[in-house]
Copies of this chain bind each other. A is one copy, B any other.
Amino acid sequence: MKRPRLFAIAVFVIVSLTVPAFAVDYLPSWNDGATKQSIVDFVQRVITPGGKDFVAEPERIATFDNDGTLWAEQPMYFQMIFALDRVKTLAAQHPEWKDKQPFKAVLEGDLKTVLAGGEHALLELVMATHAGNTTEEFSQIVKNWLNTAKHPKTGRLYTEMVYQPMLELLDYLRENGFKTYIVSGGGIEFMRPWTERIYGIPPEQVIGSSIKTKFELRDGNPVMVRLPEINFIDDKAGKPVGINQHIGRRPIAAFGNSDGDLQMLQWTCLTDGKRFCLYVHHTDAEREWAYDRKSSIGQLDKGLDEAKARGWTVVDMKRDWKIIYPSELLK
């Protein structure tokens, strides 16, 4: 009686070690429920050969907004905090800023006045802090800032304020043959220095807003100089334009959190064939922030209505996510 049992155990062990781990949960930070299930269902459908919703691997394009979708965006876009910090750093070289708005207000920590300056003031800040250097210099400046600057509320590095459930989702999609892209209103050259390390998304799969650049030979060395002139705004109706320009294929899955992502989701999902659109809804004032229809940052109003009307997936952060940040894994 003993031999057969031992044999059975041996077979079980061997099978366990060799059979594909089909029961692995790739989304452990997502609570079980309809939201998580909608993701898994979609992926299984499009990857099943012979199934009616099968999508060939090269067409498995997934696009992700960044601010508020992959990392936090409160109390203001992190790139804006970078710009404000940069004004302070550069102030010594610009004595005139002490008397000139919007710089004066930034140096005095008077954010209200900065914001009262509207789009024009913000543009001035962006140009003063993002242009005038080479692409290599700017990349290094961004890296240095991210390595040291801390978020005012959490005290964490900004790159630690990425959403663990979304990191798992990115991996899960890539495991299943998807090519994952960032499509953000943020600066393309602000993101590229770190998206590969943090999200596994290489620079060539990052799409964002940009200023113009110019090729120059400086003492025989080629550089790309960043000019104080807007090249492209990758927001709202600009998102499908950026996607078309950079990818030249229509995504089959898109992920956002605000009205600025609505056109990207429309471009992705308002078509025949199996598609997946998802909004991250910030509902957790305790662990993160709660905001939607009336927020000046990451407003989600029209998008929320359209998501409900069209049956897109809406993540309720409080309900659907076990943890928010990767650091919680260590607890």
Contact = CB atoms under 8 A, between A and B. Distances in A.
Interface of A: 58, 135, 179, 188-189, 192, 196, 202-204, 206, 210, 213-215, 217, 220-222, 224, 231, 237-241, 244-249, 263, 266-267, 270-271
Contact of A188 (B179, B196, B210, B248): B248
B215 A270 contact: no
Contacts of A214: 237, 241
Contacts of A196: 58
24 contacts: A58-B196, A58-B202, A135-B244, A179-B204, A188-B245, A188-B248, A192-B248, A204-B247, A204-B249, A213-B244, A213-B245, A214-B237, A215-B237, A215-B238, A215-B240, A215-B263, A215-B267, A217-B270, A221-B270, A221-B271, A222-B270, A224-B241, A224-B244, A231-B245
Given A222-B267, A240-B222, A206 B135 contact: no
Contacts of A222: 240, 263, 266-267, 270-271
Q: Within the oligomer, what is the number of copies of this chain?
A: 2
Nearest to A240: B215
A188 B244 CA distance: 10
Contacts of A58: 196, 202
Nearest to A269: B222
A196 B59 CA distance: 12
Max chain B Cβ within 10 angstroms of own Cβ: one of A179, A248, A267 = A248
Nearest to A205: B204
Contacts of A271: 221-222
Given A214-B237, A214-B241, A241-B213, A206 B266 contact: no
Nearest to A204: B247
Max chain B Cβ within 10 angstroms of own Cβ: one of A196, A204, A266 = A204
A225 to B, nearest CB: 10
A198 to B, nearest CB: 15
Contacts of A221: 270-271
Contacts of A239: 215
Given A224-B240, A240-B222, A240-B224, A217 B266 contact: yes
Contacts of A215: 237-241, 263, 267
Contacts of A224: 240-241, 244
A217 B270 CA distance: 10
Contacts of A249: 203-204
Contact of A206 (B231, B237, B238, B248): B248
Max chain B Cβ within 10 angstroms of own Cβ: one of A231, A245, A246 = A245
Max chain B Cβ within 10 angstroms of own Cβ: one of A179, A222, A241, A247 = A222
A135 B222 CA distance: 35
Contacts of A246: 204, 246
Contacts of A237: 214-215
A235 B196 CA distance: 29
A159 B245 CA distance: 23
